[in-house]
Structure 1
């Protein structure tokens, strides 16, 4: 058993060793950094939106008819740009309508996006660069156009702002990007970072199992041998090595 356990442990460890190291490092990073810090929750300013007005707000049916949308979901929201209807159609697409005018809100200009991002930010940083994305970057997990406002804090925080409502819909930072890197290493999905059922990961996990089992066997054999030697020394009175 010793010979076979040693051979299996040695050669399989050569195959999966780097990935096991990645798993351990990833686990350390993901447990050492609080998830609230990763999500940038400590940079979210605490404020209350204005109450929805009792008058002057149209119903969702009127707003939907104005845009020519057949919604399956409708939510009236108080945003930094006033009350808005968010209508979701059967294809899952969201349509925003100004609940006072019935029109689709004009996209925020850069200066207003910067201002509204700063209002929703809490911390020592100040807004610096403002960038427009016609299609949301992959790291946001969103679709459609977005403004990105960067802050000069230690974490290089970025707020992604909806050009329609002025809300921060996604928060990213260097801490989040480090976490995301180790998450992708952890699940071996470097393209999307969300598939942890693919064959490569399953195969490496399966190969790692005998490495762990044979490691435990070798440890047990070594401990049993050391225990026998210790007992023999005590019987003979020989000094410990």
Structure 2
């Protein structure tokens, strides 16, 4: 009876979900080459115009004071927006902006200004401007606090859409016709990322959890059945290890070889939705704030001194490092660091960085300090544009707290780049390694990783497509086959 129900469960989960499996494998191959659209810091800096210091009449401390914030923002930067220098802030209340030219807070931009911002970013005139709260490319929860947006379609060869925040005039997203087309064949079906569902965070999450979870159990059942039906020593009359023919044989044999990969791949996708709270890293939530030890304001800075030091910069960021105000300069070569009080260039001392990190981990003992000059199993890049670049060298500081926390710090700027606990390191293997196949020996030569992914994905496609054919024949049996079954 148990075996019978095992067969029934595998049969009907396959009939329902094999189409999902085929789509997931094929769309995953598309995602290997075309990422979901994003507008990250690297692209923002690369596409920005050099800061026109002749228009900067308001210092960073003055701009911050205009907001009347009691806490220092999590992000504070200066850059050009359509020919005007603007301070941009990420605060607890949301994103805010202050003109560096007039000192006035920007409370909204109209369609005409949005046209200008998008046009100067891309270097092409605008074809249309629409006000949207969300659409397929700005649907996630992270965009909700920045909505609504002006979606500006530009008359360039790439048919670019630029999304400008109506509240602050900040560019938050851009897409091209190439990205939009391929994402409908890649990330959108792969993540079940359809706007009508994705706009609702928890229903979308539950849909992915249950679909992948049931699919995973169905795959386990199929692999179990496959091993019960295989004969290696005493073969079937046909001489084959499998009792099946046609599509059933393809499904059985390829399932035996590719089943472990398929199960691991679906399991890792299911795990990415954090079932039952995920792995639970249990890391401290206040490490970043303790590390920066920021004050409520920012010291007065001489604009002329800053202009000389940051000449040619595309973006200037203002922050705290262990209670000391610092300024970092981006977009003109290697990142440079200034002491905000004196305006002098500075290079953080490693001993000072270590002392700051120890204060950020009260009650934990520092057990090891490593300087990484090359990527390793936990600090690496696959070349995926969705991932932030991981600079080298970095410092890795290990602590003996309950989460066995590692802090990754940029020695050039002192910036805290990441925090990784034992749960996060487990997630690296249970999700990244199983789902993205970013195994150390494959990352040495990236083409090898792509070949390996193609090989295993093709096996997954064959298992899925054969399951679709088998399921179709089960639901809609051919007349001759039905006649034989009746006879």
Structure 1 residues 41 and 217, CA gap change in structure 2 (3 angstroms):
farther
- Which residue of the partner structure matches residue 457 of structure 2? 205
Contact 1:133/1:146 (8 A) holds in 2: yes
- Tell me which residue corresponds to 2:232: none
Mapped to 1, the partners of 2:422 and 2:294 lie a distance apart of: 29
Look up the SS of the partner of 1:117 in the other structure: helix
How far apart, CA to CA, are the structure 2 residues paired with 1:130 and 1:105?
26
1:128: how far off? 1.9
Give the superposition deviation at 1:132: 4.3
C-alpha distance in 2 between matches for 1:103 and 1:39? 39
SS in 1 for 2:273: helix
Could you tell me which runs of 5 or more consecutive residues in structure 1 were left unpaired when the two chains were aligned. 233-241
Q: Does 1:170 align with 2:422?
A: no
Shift of 1:36: 9.8
Using the size of structure 1 for normalisation, the TM-score is: 0.68
Query: How many Å separate the matches in 2 of 1:137 and 1:36?
Result: 24
Mapped contact 2:409–2:415 kept (Cα < 8 A): yes
Aligned to 1:42: 285
Secondary structure at the aligned position of 2:294 is classed as coil
User: What residue number does 2:324 align with?
Assistant: 82
- Contiguous gaps of at least 5 residues in structure 2: 1-243, 380-388
CA distance in 2, matches of 1:45, 1:75: 17
1:160 and 2:412 aligned: no
Higher RCO (C-alpha 8 Å, min separation 6): 1
Q: Give 1:89 deviation, angstroms.
A: 3.4
Distance 2:282 2:450 in 1: 26
Deviation at 1:7, TM superposition (A): 0.9
229, 233, 248: which is aligned to 1:6?
248
Counterpart of 1:239? none
Other-structure match for 1:214: 466
Contact 1:113 1:149 in 2 (8 A): no
Structure 2 length-normalised TM? 0.37
CA shift at 1:41, angstroms?
6.8
CA RMSD of aligned residues (A): 3.9
Task: Say which SS state the counterpart of residue 31 (structure 1) adopts.
Answer: coil
Q: Is the 8 A contact 2:328 2:413 kept in 1?
A: no
Determine if contact 2:336/2:413 at 8 Å carries over to the other structure: no
C-alpha displacement of 1:185: 2.6
Aligned residues: 217
- Is residue 351 of structure 2 the alignment partner of residue 103 of structure 1? no
Give the aligned partner of residue 263 of structure 2: 21
Check 1:155–1:223 CA distance in 2 against 1; reply closer, same or farther (3 A cut): farther
Give the aligned partner of residue 128 of structure 1.
366
Q: Mean alpha-carbon deviation: is it higher for 163-172 or for 2-11?
A: 163-172
C-alpha distance after superposition, 1:67-126 (max 9, x if no partner) = xxx4232223233252222112344x311122233333243343x43432244347xx60
Q: Distance in 1 between matches of 2:331 and 2:466?
A: 55
